[in-house]
Amino acid sequence: MLVNGKPGNLISIRDRGLLYGDGVFRTLRATQGKAQHWLLHYQKLRHDCTALGIACPDVGLLSAELNDLLARHPNGVVKLIVTRGEGMRGYAPPDCAETTHLWDISPLPDYPADWAIHGIKARLCQLRLSQQPRLAGIKHLNRLENVLAAAEWNDAQLPDSGIAEGLLLDIDGNAIEGTRSNLFLVSQGELITPDLSRSGVAGVQRDRVITWSTQHNMPLQIRDVGLDEVLHADELFVVNSIIGLWPVRELEQRRWIGFPVAMQIRQAWAEEPAS
Amino acid sequence: MLVNGKPGNLISIRDRGLLYGDGVFRTLRATQGKAQHWLLHYQKLRHDCTALGIACPDVGLLSAELNDLLARHPNGVVKLIVTRGEGMRGYAPPDCAETTHLWDISPLPDYPADWAIHGIKARLCQLRLSQQPRLAGIKHLNRLENVLAAAEWNDAQLPDSGIAEGLLLDIDGNAIEGTRSNLFLVSQGELITPDLSRSGVAGVQRDRVITWSTQHNMPLQIRDVGLDEVLHADELFVVNSIIGLWPVRELEQRRWIGFPVAMQIRQAWAEEPAS
């Protein structure tokens, strides 16, 4: 673990990341000493920092630190956090804050291989996401909605329900995302993914599916999607940087068997040169 | 500064308070070794912890730590944070998390005395608060909306505008609160304060005004309030535990002179025995 470039696992209690969630983060998958799609993640990080007025650390600096980290821990879930740093008391961002940046690495999760092939069981979360255009799309540190949503079924005191992800709607009933993933529908030969201009986090793997659709001339719409449309889709799948792509085989009363488009994307990704 | 009862100013980078803003806080005013309204703050803290499913530290433990802190630093702004602690990677709250609690103390701000008597200049914030009934009222660590709102005018690079607080509306145009205070209107002999069931933080001083209104047989309504009603109020004032009560003398094109109800409450509070 690295805090501002130095080995360590502690941060000041006056850091605005703790006080206000005033920061952004990325979660990357590292295998064999390589962090997948690092530059795409860096672009998102810089975009998100800019949106909040946080000075993003230089890509050269972060890349060097990441390489150091991976030399010692070649495989794992890499987390990068950038906060606005410390400042005077109060919500207003300080003028000359030195941002804090830190790295952490955890073991890769051991998901059943079957989930990627035959799909996951998903649930519909009761929590409805709020709408905040100023924060939508950004992977910021204000994640209590995700915590409350995941708490709905991720209770180790309950018998294992086999549920792998929860679908989140916003307060208007639009399907937005999974608790930790982006959502895609396939309907009548088209890909559809929710508009994230009011809620949700726009992840790197979502961009990669959008890129794939362009390269393969598959029409893709980014727009509002209701639950009814989700349940009537020909295919449904979720993506993030740790799980990759999981088809959904079960949501509410609906069951799906066979995921030709999802499998085509998985196949294309598997054949991509590492980047 | 105390972290889990021990002197220190550092916290783990794996603490969920940093990772997700998964925690709550209180801000108290300490003078002459006494933290004002500590027990009211503790009740709020416990309420907020319960709402998020966080185990709240015992009042005896926290009171003892607070006394230790105040013995060394008798005057200042005391901040208390309780987080869900550390856990496995992922949003779902861990089963048996040990919560983190920490104390910090900063110098009392030096606001112009005139603001309490002749009122403050307030601005209308452009940012509109989102609506999330599951989090409304709670003083949690997801405070990016407050940060963005305060950044609208709290820019030390700008010439001092004299603005002391910003009024926040929600996405439906309801007046909710100040960026760091609760809002009251006086209209036709009645007190009105916004309903905080969808947005905002319900502070201790808001409760104290409500209590005062009951004790003094002044009608008080808690309900939705539009901007137009705010601008047509006979009096307007904001409260929090650090500033106490500030009348508003200027907001948008409206000017107010004389704040009889606000002054009555200030007077009553000044005469209260310390608690």
pLDDT at A96: 74
CB contact under 8 A, A20 and B144: yes
Average pLDDT for residues B130-134, to the nearest whole number? 98
Q: Could you read off the pLDDT of B212-255 as tens digits, one per residue?
A: 999 999 999 999 999 999 999 999 999 999 999 999 999 999 99
Decide if A104 and B22 are in contact by the 8 Å CB cutoff.
no
pLDDT at A7 over 70: yes
In Å, what is the CA distance from A52 to each residue of A207, B144, B170, B175? 21, 9, 20, 24
- CA B124 to chain A, closest CA, distance in angstroms equals 15
State yes or no: pLDDT of A158 exceeds 70.
Answer: no
| pLDDT (mean) for A223-237 | 98
Closest CA–CA distance from residue A196 to any residue of chain B (Å): 15
Residues of A with Cβ-Cβ distance to B14 under 8 angstroms: 9, 104
What is residue B211's three-state secondary structure? helix
Q: Which residues of A touch B154 (CB under 8 A)?
A: 90-93
Q: Convert the pLDDT of each residue in A236-253 to its tens digit.
A: 999 999 999 999 999 999
B chain contacts of residue A95, beta-carbon cutoff 8 Å: 155-157
DSSP annotation of A152 reads T
CB spacing of B90 vs A14 below 8 angstroms: no
Check residue A201 and report its DSSP letter. Answer: B
- Measure CB to CB from residue A150 to each of B3, B91, B140 and give the nearest one: B91
**Residue B219 near residue B190 (C-beta atoms within 8 A):** yes
Sign of CA dihedral A14, A19, A25, A28: positive
- Chain B: nearest CA to A142, how far in angstroms? 5
Output the pLDDT for position A272. 85
Which residue of chain A is at minimal alpha-carbon distance from B7?
A13
The C-alpha atoms of residue B251 and residue B259 are separated, in whole angstroms, by 15
pLDDT, chain B, mean: 95
Structure tokens at A33: 């000493």
On chain A, the residues whose CB falls within 8 A of the CB of B90 are 150, 154, 180
HEC string of A26-72? EEEEEECCEECCHHHHHHHHHHHHHHHCCCCCCHHHHHHHHHHHHHH
pLDDT for B47-77, tens place per residue? 999 999 999 999 999 999 999 999 999 999 9
Q: B159 pLDDT exceeds 60?
A: no
By C-alpha distance, the chain A residue nearest B172 is A131
CB contact under 8 A, B141 and A106: no
Task: Name which residue leads in pLDDT, B158 or B264.
Answer: B264
Q: Is residue B205 predicted with pLDDT exceeding 70?
A: yes
Task: Work out the average pLDDT over A190-218.
Answer: 98
Q: How confident is the model at residue A155 (pLDDT cuts 50, 70, 90)?
A: low
**Confidence check: pLDDT of B158 > 60:** no
Average pLDDT for residues A68-96, to the nearest whole number? 93
With an 8 Å Cβ cutoff, are A91 and B157 in contact?
no
Which residues in chain B are closer than 8 Å to A22, comparing Cβ atoms? 143-144, 147
Report CB contact under 8 Å: A155, B95.
yes
Confidence band, pLDDT 50/70/90 cuts, at residue A274: low
Provide, rounded to the nearest whole percent, the portion of chain B with pLDDT above 90. 92
Confidence of residue A11 (pLDDT cuts 50, 70, 90): very high
Shortest Cα–Cα distance, B67 to chain A (Å)? 20
- Contact: B91, A9; criterion CB under 8 Å: no
pLDDT, position A87: 81
The predicted pLDDT at position B161 comes to 75
Backbone angles phi and psi of B129, in degrees to 5: -70, 140
Contact B143 A13 (CB under 8 A): no
Residue A159 has pLDDT above 70, yes or no: no
CB B244 within 8 A of CB B211: no
Under an 8 A CB cutoff, do B53 and A95 touch?
no
Q: In CATH, what is the architecture of B2-106?
A: 2-Layer Sandwich (3.30)
How far is Cα B85 from Cα B127, in angstroms, rounded to an integer? 31
Contact state of B21 with A21 under an 8 Å Cβ cutoff: yes
Token reading at A134: 């100023």
Residue A161: its pLDDT value, please?
A: 75
- Indicate the residue of B14, B127, B154 with minimum beta-carbon distance to A134: B127
Distance from CA of A219 to the nearest CA of B (A): 33
Q: In angstroms, what separates the C-alpha of B63 from chain A's closest C-alpha?
A: 20
CATH of B114-271, one of 3.20.190.10, 3.40.50.150, 3.40.50.300, 3.20.10.10: 3.20.10.10
Determine the residue of chain B that is closest to A139 in CA distance: B20
Report pLDDT digits (tens) over A107-117.
999 999 999 99
pLDDT at A29 over 60: yes
On the 0-12 / 13-18 / 19+ scale of CB atoms within 10 A, A111 is middle
Average pLDDT over residues A159-172: 90
- ipTM of the predicted structure? 0.96
What integer pLDDT is reported at residue A273 of this predicted model? 75
Give the closest of B22, B104, B157 to A14, CB-based: B104
Confidence of residue B155 (pLDDT cuts 50, 70, 90): low
How far off is chain A from B60, nearest CA to CA, in Å?
Answer: 23
3-state secondary structure of A266: helix
Q: pLDDT-derived band of residue B88, with 50, 70 and 90 as boundaries?
A: confident
Alpha-carbon distance A35 to A31, whole Å?
Answer: 7
The DSSP string of A78-141 is EEEEEE----SSSSSPPTTPPPEEEEEEEPPP---THHHHH-EEEEEEEEEE---TTTTB--BS
Out of A77, A91, A157, the one facing B146 most closely (by C-beta) is A91
Domain boundaries, chain A: 2-106, 114-271
Average pLDDT over residues B108-129: 96
pTM value? Answer: 0.97
Distances in Å between the Cα of B164 and the Cα atoms of A96, B116, B123, B178, B231 are 21, 11, 8, 10, 17
